[in-house]
Structure 1
């Protein structure tokens, strides 16, 4: 539900940005992969931080990815 609402909001925001003359940049595959690698290090750091608090961050991240996959169309 939340993801779908965000997607719909993105459409509105994008239309407003385009109407205002803003340049929308679509990332190519190489740049998308670079961003994913960078985000991966952020997740790893977060998982390690959670481990220090006796929280299973890896499990939480895995569950979050499963929910994203479930509700992504």
Structure 2
């Protein structure tokens, strides 16, 4: 049975794992991992502003995303 097609990010992820571990994922697990990689690049925003701030030992990050609301009313 041929291996299912996989995206480039999923392929890089699996290639970085030991072969026996990469081969142990079920189809459902691979689909869930694929969904995770897809969600990282799914939406674009008009404004995507990200900054890291440091105040002594305190490290913070700030994210401002602005875009069109695509959720149904």
Q: TM-score of the superposition, structure 1-length normalised?
A: 0.31
| Higher strand proportion (structure 1 or 2) | 2
Structure number with greater CO (CA < 8 Å, separation at least 6) is 1
| Higher helix proportion (structure 1 or 2) | 1
Q: TM-score of the superposition, structure 2-length normalised?
A: 0.31
